[in-house]
Amino acid sequence: MSDITVKGSRPAVQLVSAILFGVVAIYYGWKWAQGDISGSTKFVTVGAGAFVALKVFLLLKPTYLRLSGDTFHLRMGAGMQLSTPADNVSNLDLADGSVRIRFQDLSKVQAPQYQMTLMEQGFPRRGCHFVFPLGSDREAFEKLRKATLKDRAESHD
């Protein structure tokens, strides 16, 4: 069986914040180069530049849902990754351009502890363990959903 991958998307606000901090870093960097600033304003310049560098790094990391063999993978940038057996995925729903993912048993999910805590706390509010912004078309999602849920897909339509 070949891998099935569905691309994710990122909210535009992430790009807007990177641009905003980039403008701040460029403005104060220019003033710094001219010798017009000193002290704590230099810290603002370095901080804004570091924030932009981090944002660019995170925005360049691909986000995806992937079914590879019998393992379901999710990646939401640096540090936000999880994997679980495909039969542990109890539901994949598409609503408002996002995939809502529900697991049968969180103890079978391999993820960083902070992410596990977020999934446990978010379930009562959202009704799912994870919300993934979809960047692919609906057909690609349906292909992944059917392959992941197999015979269980009919019971969730």
pLDDT tens digits, 46-101: 888 888 888 888 777 788 999 998 999 998 876 688 999 999 999 999 988 889 99
Note whether 122 and 129 are within 8 A (CB).
Answer: yes
**156 Cβ contact partners less than 8 Å away, ≥ 6 residues apart:** 91, 93, 149
Query: What confidence score (pLDDT) does residue 10 get?
Result: 74
Same domain, residue pair 90 and 102: yes
Same domain, residue pair 84 and 28: no
Same domain, residue pair 115 and 129: yes
Could you tell me where the DSSP H helices lie in 71-137?
113-126
Q: Would residue 7 count as lying in a domain?
A: no
Total count of domains within the chain: 2
Same domain, residue pair 70 and 81: yes
Same domain, residue pair 33 and 104: no
Give this prediction's pTM: 0.71
The residue from 44, 60, 76 where one domain ends is 60
Instruction: State which residues form the domain around 74.
Output: 63-156
Same domain, residue pair 27 and 102: no
**Per the structure block, which two tokens stand in for 84?**
């679980």
Same domain, residue pair 97 and 77: yes
Same domain, residue pair 67 and 144: yes
